[in-house]
Structures are given as C-alpha cells and as structure tokens.
Structure 1
C-alpha cells in the first residue's frame, strides 16, 4: 500500500470566457465556479427516484410516507427544539434519560427562522432546509471531486453520493445534508487555499453535528502540513485553523454551563448510549449475530477498509483524506445504535471517490446503467427502511 503524502492539489480548470458570462456563480472568498448542471440533475434524479419509491410503497402498504420524512425519530427532536428551545427530556423505563441537548443547535435554529418568516410549520421548514442543503452538498461534493480528479469524476461522485445505501436520509428533516454541504465547501476552500473561509464554514459545521470534529482535524492537520512545507506560518492558515473548532467548542461549553458540569455534553450523549468505547460495542454486536450475518457484516467492514486503502492509494489531498478517515473512525468507535452507523458515515463522501474515478473511465453507455441500477436499489431499500419500525 503506497503512502499518501501532502502535496499541492492540481489546479482547478479555468473556466472559459463564455462560461464566465453564463453559468457561473461567485462565492465569497472563492473563484467563480461553473454551475455543475449535469451533477445536480443526476443527483436530483436519484432523490426523486427515492421519493417516488417511497410514495408507491407507502400507498401499497397504507402508510404515511411524508410523515416518515419530517415527523419521526431525530426530526421530531429538531422540531421540538425549533418550537420550544432546549430543556426537554424523556426518562426511559430502565431509568435512562434522553435529553434534547444531544442535538446541536444550527439546524433547529434555521427551522425556527424559516417557520417564523413563512407560513410553514417547523417540521416542513426542516424538510425544505434539508432538501436545499442537499443541493448545496451535491455542488460542494462536485467541486471537491472535480478539483481532485476532474469534472467527469465529480459528476459521478455526486450521483454515487445520491445513491448511497442510506441516501434516503438526504430527503429527511435531518442534519446530514446541511453538515455535508458545510464540510464539502470547507474542504474545497482548504484545497483552494482559502483558509479563513474554511474555518468560518467549519464553525457552522461545528454547530450542526458532533462529527465536525473530523473537519476540525482535517483543517488543523492541513494547516500544520502547510506550515511545515512552507517553513513559516501564514496568518490566514493559522487563523483558519484556530477558528475551525469554535462552533463545536461553543456548544460543548454551552451545555456544560447550562448543566453545571464540564463533561455535561458527553454525559448527555452517554444517556443516549452514544459514549465512545473504542469499538467494543461494535465487536459485541458482531459476535452476538448468527454466524452468516456476522460474516456478512465483517465483509462489509472489510469493504469499508478497502475503500479507505483505495483513498490512500489514490493520493487524495491530505485534508480530504484526514476528514474521510476521521468520519469513519468516529462512526465506528462509539457505542451508538448499530443501524445508524452507515448514516453517520454518509458525510465521508471521499470514500466514494475511488469508485467514482473508476466509473468515470467507462463509456457513458456503460456508466449510466450502473449508476441507474445503484440509484434504484438505494431507492427501494430506502422506501422499505423508512416505512419500517426502527430509526435510520
């Protein structure tokens, strides 16, 4: 296995003058970017297919598919926070406590803001926010993929992310799309050496999900590598790295002050069964399965490990590689409900870059049916999972 070494990523293609006149959007702190219509259309098609599968399956089973998107599991907690603020908790029959302080504040704050200025209720506002964020995430993923491996790979990468096995969550009032959008654009900002912008986006990501720790690590390690390579600290690089953890840290401090304990946030997470145990719970879960299921799960984990190896062999840029590996590790070392782990890994879109590059090398008439089959399988799986009893 070859080792990944820090190196300057290839320069992004310069848009043509004609493209500059029609189809570019200028983002603060970044060069003008062509709107990747093919990538966004392909991504939207995967999600429309998922919603269609959900609608048909719900009609056939007599269930309410729309309610599954905006009114169950974590979405209910976000809506409650948006409507009433923090302070709600549930005591379980075994004495355990589920407190709403486990949920980071940016998404419910946006739900509240949108429902305040529009006729939408908080639940519907959350759904629209998630859908809008999914398009922003798709564009950001394309930007990273195109920068690293070319526009064609960027398009395929976006479609693969939309056809991820648990991609149905991208259509729910959950935080995965908002977090992935912020993470993708923060990583792209690092790749384009816009470190202050990357740090600012990471602040927002840190107010969205605890997984922002992976993004903080990526920005920090990239800053250290840049400083060592250039043999001098640059103010934007250092300030961006110092800015990055402020959102995450601010919420941890807020919970600590509110609860009167420095470890309060982690105690709240432990009440949900989400404490860090180094993978002990995962090992126990595997050994408690019937042997065919255990072998299948071990094969899935081996595939995950192989994808990480391929990311290293592909020589992905250091910040993307650190972020991807950190998201995977964080998702596996917690004691959380096992069924949620694929969802927790979904923001690690870098895992899909090696298969995206392989598919991009195929002829279009070969790649399109493969992507369509993956999208259909994801849509069917998502429909039956959403209409089931357990949370994603």
Structure 2
C-alpha cells in the first residue's frame, strides 16, 4: 500500500499549512533587503547592483548572454573560465530575458527570489514530514536568519540548488523515486555539490532495496506488500539522479579536450579543488599569527566545532539516511575545498538538515519566546548581511 504521507505535498491544503513558514520567511528576507538598502545608501552604493551584478552573479549573466568560452587570464597565470559555473541558472536567466523585458541580471534576481520561496517550502515539507508543522515553521525561519541569509536573495545559485535539493529529499522520504531522481538531476546542473543530492537518492534506494529483501517471512507467511512497480521506479530514480552533474562534467571534459576529468582542470584554474581540508586548516592556523586576527581564528574554530557537533546530533537522533548522506557530502565539500575560504559560510547554506535539531528545540519554546529568539536573530542576520555584502570580497 502507498503510505498516505506520499500525498502530503499534493493535497490542496499543502500551501495553507506552509503559509506561516513562507510568510515568516518573506518577512525575514524583506528585513534583510531593507537593511541592505539602508546600509548601501549610507555608503553611496547601489543595493540592487550588489545583489545582481557582482562576483558570481556577473559570471552567470555572462554565460546567459554569451554562452560558454569566456575566460580571464590573471597575471599569475591562473585562468578563470566560466566553464566552472553550472548551467541551470544561466538557462533560466536566458529564458526569463526571452519571455519578458527583464535583463539577464533582473531575471537572475527574480529566479533567486522565487527559488528561495520554493526552498523555504521544501525545507518546511521535509521538517513537517519528520517532526510536525511547528518544527517545519521553525526550520524555515532558522534557515532564513542564517548570518549569510542575504545570499538567498542574490542572483546566485544557492537558493535554486537548495530548493531542488529539499524537494528531492522530500520526494525520497515519501517514496517518489522518479521525482527524486529528476530533481536530483536538475540540482546536479546547478552546482557541483549536486553530487550530494544524487548520493542521498542512491543511499536511500539501496537501503530500501536491502529492506525489501529482508521483508520475506519464513514458513510461507506473507511479508509487507509494496506498491506495484516500486522497484522499477526506484531504479529509474537512481539512474536519473546523477545524470545532470555527470552530463555537464563530461561535456566540459569534451569541450576542453581534457577527458572525463577536464572539469577538475577548470576548477584548478580557479585554484579550487578537494584537498581534505588541509588548505582550510592552514588558513585557520594563519589567523593565530597576530592580533586581532586571532579572534577570527577562534571564531572559525568554534564555528567548525559547532557545525560538526550539530551533525553528530543529527546522527544520534537517527535522522533519515538520505538527509545524513546529503548533509555529510555538502559539509565535506564545503570544508575540504582548497580555496575561497570566505565563501564557505554560503557554501554550507544548503545543508539545512543541520537546523532540524535546533528547530525542534525552538518549537518546544512558548510562542512568545520563540518569536523573540527569531526576531533577535533576524535583526542580527539583516545587519550582518548588509555589512558583509558591502565588503570588498565576494561572499
């Protein structure tokens, strides 16, 4: 029999149940944008330009406008190629510009805003499915008030990726294998960390297969019944899940002439790679060579410890396997990348399952106290986001 929970997202009341979470999320993001506008005006900067036409946003719009092939050669010999940027966001920017009077940058901003709401809804769906409606609302609000939450409103790919990942994970949790595989494939066309979503689908499918093999009962007794064709749908989901990321990586290798691993050479041109966290450890250690940079080093160490502690809590509380696999891969890829250390907070932003233990704790508080906590965090996030985005380096 198909569990009635698999129909949760499709019931007419799904949006109504998610409405408090989405309204709260929109309010937090509006506060962040207001703080950014005020801070930017005080510094004689344009807030909209900061959101749509700096750093990675420019690379995405160049792909949308000119296609792939653009690169910048730096004096030190590094080559920054736009092949490093996955294509789904530029495709959507190009589509938005083709169907409306919007520019590519405007379309990217609109995609980000819509995707952030879709991501909030997906996070709510996962948390509600596991822990109930109140925890779902709290999980969304905690994701909204992350210190780097302003990135959710930028013409970056984080919101789009998180939306696809969250809904793919929800589809896995509710047994919709083909949907999960399709969404995982799209996530793989959005960011390199799409590997995490595909890994979650595979882990869940393998675990389900093992459970199904163990359902047989000796002596002719009848074990649990499964929906007809579930095994075939599960296999199809597994096949679909890695196609997006694998297809783009192989295409880049073919285009560069470097073979299947050519994408790694493109990343090397950005001095980015996977070194097991050695470069990040050296970066943190370097903060302790002087004062006050040592304070930043302490903050980094505390942040990493808390991050790992949250993951341990998720494991101990028996969070579903696909969420643990997804989060583990996202965290590993973020912390063990060999470059762009200042960008690690936003690279960790899609790891929303880490917030579920905190959401449960927040949900247990009285409404007045939980509202106060979220309000204080929202103010802090808005101020920090405005300060951060008005800085000199890319987020």
Distance 2:5 2:99 in 1: 39
Q: In the alignment, which residue of structure 2 is the partner of 1:77?
A: 59
Instruction: Tell which deviates more after alignment, 197-206 or 283-292.
Output: 283-292
Matching residue of 1:373:
376
Mapped to 2, the partners of 1:328 and 1:11 lie a distance apart of: 33
CA contact (8 A) 2:284 2:300 kept: yes
SS, match of residue 98 in structure 1: strand
Look up the SS of the partner of 1:380 in the other structure. Answer: helix
Q: Is the 8 A contact 1:163 1:375 kept in 2?
A: yes
Gaps of 5+ in 1: 1-9, 26-32
TM-score, with normalisation over the residues of structure 2?
0.91
2:246 counterpart of 1:237: no
Aligned to 2:75, what secondary structure does the other structure show? coil
Does the CA contact (< 8 Å) of 1:42 and 1:159 recur in 2? yes
1:327 aligns to 2:327 (yes or no): no
Match of 1:356 among 354, 359, 368: 359
- Matched with 1:29 is none
Structure 1 position 97 matched with structure 2 position 56: no
CA drift at 1:60: 1.4
Aligned-partner Cα distance in 1 for 2:36–2:315 = 37
**In structure 2, distance between residues paired with 1:181 and 1:35:** 18
- What is aligned with 2:199? 217
Encode CA deviations 1:306-343: one digit per residue, 9 max, x unaligned: 11111112211111111111110111111121111110
Residue 188 (structure 1) aligned to one of 170, 175, 188: 170
The match for 1:24 is 13
**CA 1:249 to 1:14, structure 2 compared with 1: closer, same or farther past 3 Å?**
closer
The count of corresponding residues between Structure 1 and Structure 2 is 371
1:269 matched residue in structure 2: 267
Does the aligned pair in 2 maintain the 1:11–1:147 contact within 8 Å? no
| Equivalent position to 2:132, from 122, 126, 150 | 150
Distance 2:7 2:210 in 1: 29
Secondary structure of 1:234's counterpart equals helix
Asked if the contact 1:223/1:241 (under 8 Å) is kept, the reply is: yes
Deviations 1:167-202 (A, max 9, x none): 110010000011000000000000000001100111
Mapped partners of 1:205, 1:137: distance in 2? 12
Rounded Cα–Cα distance in structure 1 between residues aligned with 2:370 and 2:183: 34
Q: CA-to-partner distance for each residue in 1:9-58, whole Å, 9 max, x for gaps?
A: x974987xxx96xx536xxxxxxx64511000010011000000001111
1:289 has 2:290 as partner: no
1:142 offset after TM fit, Å? 0.2
Q: Distance in 2 between matches of 1:13 and 1:190?
A: 10
Q: What CA distance in whole angstroms lies between the structure 2 residues aligned with 1:13 and 1:183?
A: 17
**Structure 1: distance between partners of 2:317 and 2:48:** 40
- Verify the 8 A CA contact 1:105 1:208 in the aligned structure 2: yes
| Residue of structure 2 equivalent to 1:314 | 317
1:88 aligns with 2:70: yes
TM-fit CA distance, 1:294: 2.2
For structure 2, list consecutive stretches of 5 or more residues without a partner in the other structure. Answer: 215-229, 289-293
Deviates more, 1:312-321 or 1:211-220: 312-321
Contact 1:141 1:157 in 2 (8 A): yes
1:249 is the counterpart of 2:255 = no
Match of residue 387 from structure 2: 384
Equivalent residue number for residue 7 of structure 1: none
Partner of 2:47: 65
- RMSD of aligned Cα (Å): 1.7
Kindly report which structure 2 residues correspond to 1:114-129, keeping only aligned pairs within 5 A, or say none: 114-129=96-111
1:229 to partner: Cα distance: 0.8
Deviates more, 1:269-278 or 1:182-191: 269-278
